[in-house]
């Protein structure tokens, strides 16, 4: 079995040799394997174990059902989706490599769905839906036509910055007449 953190790091590097865009960086005081900015595996120094991140619940349950596997709990409570592979696999690439690859693919797929489109592909901030506010459909249509909030055509019952000014003006003219 791998005896040191450096041995575990070398084992993980060997298991990911065929995978694209993998980098090794410090993570959680140990070594983490990343695809882009997302970690998918680590060499855990406290227990000298290899851990993989399996966001898919079926894969997670399958690996957890394997003898010798354990949840990764760096601070007493388990980290969601993380499994420490059986220690016997540290020297068995035929068992370790498929699970490291599965973790890589799941994390890559998970974060590919979350990618932010380039600025040219994104809708203007005024139009993007938020969780706290619902956008007024007429305002969105007007904004799509190229108008700004200041030049938006007023509709009865809508509030704009210009509305209070008109209300004051109407009161003054009513007093004069």
Token pair for 130? 């938020």
137-163: per-residue pLDDT in tens? 555 555 445 544 444 555 555 555 555
158 found inside a domain: no
Residue 133 lies in a domain: no
What pLDDT, on the 0 to 100 scale, is given for residue 58? 92
Question: What would the mean pLDDT of 30-53 be, rounded to a whole number?
Answer: 89
| Pairing state between β 38-44 and 70-71 | unpaired
Range of the domain at 82: 5-113
Question: What's the pLDDT tens digit per position in 4-17?
Answer: 889 888 999 999 99
Q: How many helices (H) and strands (E) does the chain have?
A: 5, 6
- What pLDDT was estimated at residue 46? 85
Domains in the chain, number: 1
Residue 134 falls within a domain, yes or no? no
In a domain? residue 26: yes
Residue 94, domain member (yes or no) = yes
Tell me the C-alpha distance between 73 and 128, whole Å.
38
- The CATH number given to whatever domain includes residue 105 is 3.30.1460.30
In a domain, 125, yes or no: no
Q: Is the pLDDT of residue 169 over 60?
A: no
pLDDT of residue 77: 76
| Of 29 and 43, the one with more pLDDT | 43
CB 107 within 8 A of CB 35: yes
Query: How far apart, in Å, are the Cα atoms of 82 and each of 5, 46, 53, 90, 92?
Result: 18, 15, 4, 16, 20
In a domain, 140, yes or no: no
pTM: 0.59
- CA dist 158 and 139 (Å) reads 10
Q: 99: number of CA atoms within 13 Å, CB side?
A: 30
């Amino acid at each position: 079995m791998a005896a040191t953190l450096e041995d575990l790091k070398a084992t993980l590097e060997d298991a990911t040799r065929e995978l694209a865009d993998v980098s090794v960086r410090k993570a959680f005081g140990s070594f983490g394997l990343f695809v882009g900015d997302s970690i998918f595996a680590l060499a855990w120094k406290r227990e000298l174990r290899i851990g993989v991140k399996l966001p898919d619940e079926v894969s997670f349950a399958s690996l957890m059902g394997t003898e010798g596997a354990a949840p990764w709990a760096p601070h007493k409570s388990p980290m969601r989706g993380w499994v420490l592979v059986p220690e016997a696999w540290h020297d068995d690439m035929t068992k370790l490599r498929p699970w490291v690859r599965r973790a890589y693919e799941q994390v890559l797929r998970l974060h590919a769905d979350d990618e932010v489109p380039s600025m040219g592909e994104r809708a203007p901030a005024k139009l993007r839906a938020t969780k706290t506010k619902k956008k007024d459909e007429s305002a969105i249509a007007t904004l799509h036509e190229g108008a700004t909030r200041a030049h938006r055509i007023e509709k009865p019952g809508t509030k704009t910055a210009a509305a209070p000014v008109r209300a004051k003006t109407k009161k003054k003219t009513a007093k004069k007449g």
